[in-house]
Structure 1
Amino acid sequence: MKKLFPVVVVTLLLLLAILPTASAETKNAKKEPATYQIPPSVRNITKENTYPNSTQDLPTLQPSELTKQLIDSSKVKIENPDLIRMLNESSINSTPFALGYRAIVYLGQWPLNYESTETALNWEYQKINTNYYDNRGGNVPYQIHYVQEAQKNIRGGLTAKIENAEDVKKMMLLKAMEKTRLPLAFDTIIGAGTKNDHVYNIPVNRLGYLYAYAPAVNEKGKVTYGEVYLMLKGSKKVIVVKNVTSQGIGAWIPVQDHVSFGFAASERPR
């Protein structure tokens, strides 16, 4: 029994060393972003689109050294690109001998950050086109493909009125693009005459309908607001945020230059 005691102790110590690692791996696994796979019915029409959409380029703005110092001093996370840009354009000269110097500058009320709680894709967000052919009098199957009959402007937007809506939209767009890795924009256009070569066969004695839809992301989360103050005290510079509030918000954000297709063949008109 005495010989077994050291073996048991060593085994227990090994288990205790392994468990925290396994726990940490489990936590890390939960933090991995969800994958958003494009289904086969959805096709990229960037090259075929007769209306050239401008790429929605919203890179994450890099804070300057001073801005980073100010952001790090705030107890509330600051991610608003416009606020970061304003801080980047600011310069504050200070001296270590400015004893007793103190100033508080009010920078206004800002949406400071957006926290995403749900990101879902609706591949049939808006119907944009229907191609149709009547093959009830035909002797062989008829081949049909997608041709956009009229120009379509697909608009997204916030699901509720909110203060500083444009700032909030930028933060939501950045977060949704980061999570989905898809080209997103609150406004996108499919030009008239846009085509896709994929063929759908309409059987004999059938009516064929090829439906085209614009997909969109449904983004939901929480935006945090606060009154932002720049406090200068001697050589010290900090950001102080007061009257912090949070509000739930949602948005529909169309996927640029992508079309989702649905095909149906029936004996009677639909």
Structure 2
Amino acid sequence: MKALRIVIMMLLLSLFVTSSISAANEVKEDKSARDKAKVPSSVLNIAKENTYPNPTEDLPYLQPSELAQELIDTSNVKIENPNLIRMLNESSMNKSPFALGMRATISLGEWPLNYESTETAPNWEYQKINTNYYDNRGGKSNYQIHYVQETQKVIKGGLTAKVPHSDDVQKMMMLKAMENTDLPLSFQTIIGAGTKKDHKYNITPKRMGYLYAYAPAINEKGKVTYGEVFLVMKGTKRSIVVKNVTSQGIGAWIPVQDHVSFGFVASDHPR
């Protein structure tokens, strides 16, 4: 009896240790995901100061209608494409009692069905957009400079490879990147000329100061799944069948809207 109690206690202890390790790993993974999207102090939001008003990129998660959800649930492949969901939302089919013997298969064409993210990584210095400079080698006291955008800059992102239905793929990738980073993203953003930020940088005497400004972007990588979508009707039953399913690796650069990353360098000689 004593031996049995010892065995039971050892089993319970083993289960406790295993669950503790698993929980610790989950916490570590969650922390890693948060740290990856953490904005460094050198990156500032310029939405209020930007002289070019960028439109807000509004990509809400489209909610399927009752019929669309019913059809999506029957699919043999996960469907997340907002444009395909919108088309299903706009469809209507009545369950007529006279359709008992009806059989029909309707091709809806080939679609990118879903996107699975494998990596979402920020590049805070994706594109250099401005340099503010002052030569204080002849000065006797500190000189302060701040950021002033000299010319208007258009920062563009895009897919890293050509794929069918690229607009749909871009939309799914941006939705996933927004979810993973909680940052305002857009495949094109503009920094207007004359945009300023008041943060000051000191240039000591006998030095030259360079304030570099960069547009940050998110590098999104993953896999997009394609398939030929068919609407199948058998009597009063309706379903979606996906055939010829293929998957393709894809990447994209997606600029962070209305954010600038700064780097200040003081030097005793021209750079």
Q: Shorter-normalised TM-score: what interval?
A: over 0.9
The farther-off stretch of 130-139 and 92-101 is 92-101
What are the residue-to-residue correspondences of 1:17-56 with 2, within 5 Å? Answer: 18=16, 21-22=19-20, 25=23, 28-29=26-27, 32=30, 34-35=33-34, 36-56=37-57
1:14 aligns with 2:15: no
Give matches, 1:149-164, under 5 Å. Answer: 149-164=150-165
Task: Tell me the secondary structure at the aligned position of residue 14 of structure 1.
Answer: helix
Change (3 A) 1:99 1:26: farther
Aligned twin of 2:233:
232
- 1:14 positional shift: 2.8
TM-fit CA distance, 1:20: 6.7
Structure 1 unmatched runs, 5+: none
Q: Distance in 2 between matches of 1:20 and 1:232?
A: 49
Distance in 2 between residues matched to 1:218 and 1:257, nearest whole Å: 17
Match of 1:5 in 2: 3
Pick closer, same or farther for the CA change 1:58–1:137 going to 2, 3 Å: same
TM-score by length of 1: 0.94
* Counterparts in 2 of 1:203 and 1:114: CA distance versus 1, 3 Å: same
Tell me which amino acid in the other structure corresponds to 2:112.
P
Indicate the residue corresponding to 2:176 in structure 1: 175
| Identical-pair percentage | 69
User: Residue in 1 aligned with 2:221?
Assistant: 220
CA RMSD of aligned residues (A): 1.8
Aligned to 2:33, the other structure's residue is in SS state: coil
Distance 1:150 1:266 in 2: 25
**What TM-score does the superposition give when structure 2 sets the normalisation length?**
0.94
* Cα distance in 1 for residues equivalent to 2:4 and 2:248: 58
Q: The residue matched to 2:101 in structure 1 has which SS?
A: coil
Deviations 1:210-232 (A, max 9, x none): 00000000001110000000000
Secondary structure of the equivalent of 2:177? Answer: helix
Displacement of 1:31 in angstroms is 6.4
**Corresponding position of 1:265:** 266
Give the match's secondary structure for 1:66. helix
1:247 aligned partner: 248
Shift of 1:137: 1.1
Separation in structure 2 between the aligned mates of residue 96 and residue 7 of structure 1, nearest angstrom: 65
